[in-house]
Chains A and B, each alone.
Chain A
Amino acid sequence: MNTVATNDQLSFVELIRRFQVDIWRYLRVLGAEQSLADDLTQETFVAVYRKPFEYRGEAEASAYLRTVARNLFLMAKRKERSGPAFHDIEGIDRAWVEFSGEDGGNERIALLKTCMQTLDQRTRAILEARYGYDTPREEIAAQFELELEALRSLIRRAKETLAACIERKAQ
């Protein structure tokens, strides 16, 4: 069994190279921690290797792999007896497809890095503390002398600014 695609258009190795980043990030968006996302990405491709599917194009293959990954994620959560922290799975799918583009989100992530430089230093430091070091909001609020609600809206506004910047640059 050497190809996953019945029409031989994409070898298994090419499939991994093309979609591994896409699936890993998708699992992270679903709420998988890094180590779980690592394991499930591997399991997704192993499952596809053992049960090949018909390759009808990139978008379809990506959607199929996402479905496999999502099911594995839900099974893992069930095993842990903890439910997934999402309700609107279609909305998440839509948002991810929009963001990921054709390269699993690499381009947008690179744009995000550039856009981060346009933020003022304080906002950037707050985002780095929150997302880079997982610092609780309460501590960031105390450190930057902000009310908790003010911090929340500052982060929200910053994210909206970044999203707009990414869109602008992507066009």
Chain B
Amino acid sequence: MTLNDAQHRVLDVALTEVCAELAPPDFESRILAVVGHDEASEKAPIHALTLKRRNNFGIWAAAASVVIGLGLLAYSWFTQPSGLTLSPNAKLLSDGGGYRLESGWALVRSEADKLQVGDSLVTDVRGTVLAVRGGIPNPDEMQKIEQWLGTQHTEVGDMKLTTRWIATGSAAFFLISGSATIDGQRMDMADFEPINQEAAPVEVETIGGKELLALFEAAQPQSKVKCEDGTDFDGAKIDPKLKFTIPAHLKQNKPTLKKTLAIALAISKMYLHTTREMFTIENYVVVNMADAVKELGELGKAAYQNTPAPAGRYVRSVTVDSLASCEDTELVVLEVPLSERLESVTNDGSGANVRAALSLYATRGIGNVLPIAERNSLFIGDYAYQVPHLLTMIKALEGAAAGSSDFDIHNMRDGLPFQTEREEKTTDVSKRTIPLSDLISAHAKASGGRVVIHGIEEGKNVSIFDSVASQRSPSLGLALAPHKLAIVEAGQVDALGPINYTLSAAPFVLLKGLTACPSGRFVTTMIAPKHVDAAQLRAILANLTTRNAGSVYPVFPRQQLSPDEPRHQGVLIVSDFVGNVRRLRSIVALLDTPQEVHPTLRTFDRQVDNWSPEISIADVGPTVDMATEKLLTHCVASGEIAPLIDASILQYIPTLKVPTMLSGVFTTQMLHAGLAERKLALLPFGDYSTIVQVTEAMTMSEIVYSPDKLAGHDDNRHVTLVRSLKHVSAEEVRAVIAKHPTTLKEKGTMILTLNFSNSLVMCGRVELLKAINKALDDLDREPEDVAEVVRAVLEMPERTMVSRVEIRPSKPGK
């Protein structure tokens, strides 16, 4: 088959997409944000919501379970607190709706109530957590704890690894399996390095869709799984690419298998609908997901129009309180009232703005969020496991609207995230290649009872240059990131997939909690600027988020109704890797200045038009070829760069052209120069470093907090610099620099402007930024006093004809 030039072009683009694992981004939210369009406004006027339950069975079952639950709770109140196992020295007090650990330690399991330990609160445990009053235990205490854990038949890999502890000051927590919410932050085993993989007692098996269905059917011989037309359901209908890593002891576990199957079917565009016979035997009908989603839509429409809701076949109507009685994979609808506080931060009072933001976090292609203006509430329809996530987002928005300090970026200039000093040391370093499938198995083992659904093809690896002595494995989240994959919690099952598709399940973390979060974790947070409009900041941040993954969505403020009313600047909902969220937060803190800057030269001097910045780049000089692996090994071994993790990019770059001036001596300078020549950049990445193409460097590069700090960085490193201008317009300067032949034409360079603080956000190689910065120093000078000039002109003899007055900047003071 012979191809013409045009067909070659098309195939080139397709091959780039396949080989570089690119995917077209989803533009829906950003386009709607730009045009201020709201999908809901296309629909009918909104009236009161009347939703009916599908049948009465749910009510009776829920009521019965509440009665039984209350009975059990009352019983347990006087005996052993449910889900808590206390150490012999522990002191536990009953505290309202939960317990308070006063001393000692405790094992907290899934069924436990909320537990206060010191100032920290642990809730929603799905697995097992060890809670210790005080700080991280010393070795003697650890030994005692380990002995006690032995009596509880609980094994922990290596408790001495302090990175595995979550210390909050007055308490310390060790996640033994699964996940838990500690002080509002969801912590998951996926965030931590797998420990002691060899000794993990859990055996796992990776199977395909057909085997999953066979397991599911075997686990419940009385039940039937059928298609809607009554024919037998064939496992082949599950997406054949999907695989399931299942701990052996869960192979007989009906609820877990059901959840796994339901999610696998949802990915394959089908819905597992449960029917009951004689109130006991559960049967399942596999229906087209579109039918279930259509029903969700009809219920939403009825809510809008205040018409009686149609009888639901697949969707259950619940309240916030009865949500807990639902199965994770059940489709539910509920109405959530919005507080008046939240109304003050939304621009139209109808909740449409909040709805548009939350829609991003509803399950893609299934979930539905609609505003009900008359009652200032939201209609939410989604999987039961996803609804709490949306409720958390609403609570957080309310907090931001109320001006909670949790969202104040100016009180959080704690430990600037990228300025860590590395200890110079020499160690033996080796390159290891770990298959992602091994890390997934390790995760499934370490998490105890969690199934992982994924579609990782064979041969996907992650390469690590690390100390031979360390031999540690990166956390699964960190290892997946270079592949643009993330792992998220979907009920009690973990789903692994492309980041842009897992965005909706990214856990919500408060800004102040970011410090404790592992860098490889993909999270959602909120930033509330104090002075600059969220929409203006969004335009900048959208360019700095991880490509095809990160997202910034503004919730705009409404107009002030009176001058006395405090003015909100809106809220930014940001989703990205923790490392990058910290970076974005720091950039906002630098840009969010209290005073608007009005450039003095803008109105009466047009010198910027004629400005010719002198920007030149030094030639690197003669080069030699050097083995990439050798150079990297040396740089890691000497402590010059952190251990390196990447998606095997190095197999395609056997050598680098490095400068010869330091012949015989290995330095990071050579490494940076060699990579720059290949249009690659070495960047910090959590506790590791990584190599990316320069076009992605702008979304990850380290912030240099003032222009004079540039001098301390290697010329070929990629950094981000924020600089404010006093006298010339940042926007005009950017336009001139953009025309310069050697600046923005260099791949990986980007200059953005913010009018409010008259700032430039510049990303690129240090050498280039130094040159631009020097040119800006020459331009951004205070002009002579205009009044002085006017006075001089007025004092001139009458015969002097003044045709033109030109004001030039002063010479800088010495």
- A and B held together in a complex: yes
A34 touches B22 (CB 8 A): yes
Chain A residues in 8 Å Cβ range of B280:
none
Q: Which of B29-37, B408-416, B423-431, B659-667 lies at the interface with chain A? A: B29-37
Convert B692-717 into 0s and 1s, putting 1 for each residue whose CB lies closer than 8 angstroms to a CB of A. 01010000000000000000000000
The answer for the CA separation of A132 and B6 in the assembled complex, in Å, is: 20
Interface membership of B12, Cβ < 8 A: yes
Report yes or no: B27 in contact with A45, Cβ–Cβ below 8 A. Answer: yes
CA distance A161 to B11 in the complex (A): 11
- A167 interfacial by beta-carbon distance below 8 Å: yes
Given A11-B39, A132-B20, A133-B652, A112:B15 Cβ within 8 A: yes
- Which residue among A24, A34, A99 has the maximum number of chain B CB atoms within 10 Å of its CB? A34
**B229 interface residue per 8 A CB criterion:** no
Quick check: which of A59-67, A69-77, A86-94 contacts chain B, the rest being far away? A86-94
Say which residue of A28, A35, A41, A135 sits within 8 Å of B27 (CB atoms): A41
Return the contact of A11 from the options B6, B12, B24, B42 (Cβ within 8 A): B42
With a CB–CB cut-off of 8 A, which chain A residues contact B6?
88, 91-92, 94-96
Within the assembled complex, what's the spacing in Å between the Cα atoms of A16 and B547? Answer: 20
For window 661-697 of B, CB contacts with A under 8 Å fall at 679, 693, 695
Given contacts A12-B37, A46-B34, A50-B35, contact A95 B17 (CB under 8 A): no
Task: Assess A42 versus B4: contact at CB under 8 Å? Given A3-B42, A49-B35, A133-B652.
Answer: no
> Knowing A45-B31, A112-B14 touch, does A163 contact B3 (C-beta < 8 A)?
yes
Q: Give the secondary structure class of A's interface.
A: helix
In the assembled complex, the Cα of A2 lies from the Cα of B42 at a distance in Å of 6
A162 at the interface (CB under 8 A from B): yes
B45, CB-defined interface residue at 8 Å:
no
Q: What's the Cα separation between A50 and B653 when bound, in Å?
A: 47
Q: Which of B15, B24, B27, B32 has the most A CB atoms < 10 Å from its CB?
A: B24
B16 near A: Cβ within 8 Å?
Answer: yes
Taking the complex as formed, is A151 at the interface, i.e. its CB lies under 8 A from any CB of chain B? Answer: no
- B395: Cβ under 8 A from any A Cβ: no
- Contact indicator B5/A24 (Cβ below 8 Å): no
Determine which of B11, B22, B30 lies in contact with A162 in the assembled complex, contact meaning CB atoms within 8 Å: B11
Q: In the complex, what's the smallest C-beta–C-beta distance from B30 to chain A, in angstroms?
A: 6
B1 to chain A, nearest CB (A): 4
In the bound complex, residues from chain A placing their C-beta under 8 Å from that of B654 are 143
Of B28, B35, B679, which contacts A134 at CB under 8 A? B679
For residue A115, give the distance in angstroms from its CB to the closest CB of chain B: 9
Instruction: Give a binary string over A7-38; 1 marks a CB under 8 Å from any B CB, 0 the rest.
Output: 00001110011001100110011000111001
A16: chain B residues within 8 A (beta carbon): 27-28, 31-32
Say yes or no: is A109 at the interface (Cβ < 8 Å to chain B): yes
Instruction: State A131–B18 Cα separation when bound (angstroms).
Output: 8
Minimal Cβ-Cβ distance residue in A for B12: A131
Residues in A110-129 with C-beta less than 8 Å from chain B: 112-113, 116, 127-129
Residue of A nearest to B11 (CB): A159
Q: How far is the CB of A145 from chain B (nearest CB, A)?
A: 12
Are A131 and B4 CB-contacts (below 8 A) given A34-B695, A143-B654?
A: no
Q: Are A127 and B695 in contact (CB under 8 A)?
A: no
| Chain A residue contacts of B26, Cβ below 8 A | 20
| B2 beta carbon closer than 8 Å to chain A | yes
Residues of A within 8 A of B20 (CB): 131-133
A41–B30 Cα gap in the complex (Å)?
A: 11
State which of A29, A98, A163 has its C-beta within 8 Å of the C-beta of B9.
A29
Q: Are A105 and B4 within 8 A (Cβ)?
A: no
Within 8 Å of chain B (Cβ to Cβ): is A54? Answer: no
Residue numbers in A under 8 Å from B11 (CB-CB): 99, 159, 162-163
In the assembled complex, B96 has its CB within 8 A of some CB on chain A: no
Among B10, B12, B28, B547, the residue within 8 A (CB) of A17 is B28
A21 neighbours in B (Cβ, 8 Å): 24
Contacts A42-B34, A134-B693 given; does A159 touch B8 at CB 8 Å? yes
B32 lies within 8 A of A13 (CB): yes
Residues of B within 8 A of A50 (CB): 35
- Judged by a CB distance under 8 angstroms, whether B13 is at the interface is yes
Chain A residues near B12: list those with CB within 8 A.
131
B28 cross-chain contacts in A, Cβ below 8 A: 13, 16-17, 20
CA gap between A40 and B11 in the complex, in Å: 21
- Whole-angstrom distance between the Cβ of A142 and the nearest chain B Cβ: 9
Q: Which of the residues A91, A134, A143, A164 comes within 8 Å of B5, measured between beta carbons? A: A91
Residues on B with C-beta less than 8 A from A95 are: 4, 6-7, 9-10
Q: B39's contact among A13, A20, A49, by CB below 8 Å, is which?
A: A13
Chain A residues closer than 8 Å to B30, beta-carbon distance: 42
Residues of B within 8 A of A127 (CB): 15, 19
Q: Which 10 A-B pairs have the closest CB atoms?
A: A132-B19, A95-B6, A131-B19, A91-B6, A164-B1, A131-B15, A2-B42, A129-B652, A24-B24, A133-B652
What would 7 A/B residue contacts be, using CB atoms closer than 8 Å? Answer: A13-B32, A28-B13, A42-B34, A46-B35, A49-B31, A95-B7, A108-B14
Beyond A88-B5, A132-B21, 19 additional pairs, beta carbon < 8 A: A16-B32, A29-B10, A34-B22, A34-B547, A42-B27, A46-B34, A88-B6, A91-B5, A94-B6, A95-B9, A109-B14, A109-B18, A113-B18, A130-B19, A131-B12, A131-B20, A132-B16, A163-B3, A163-B11
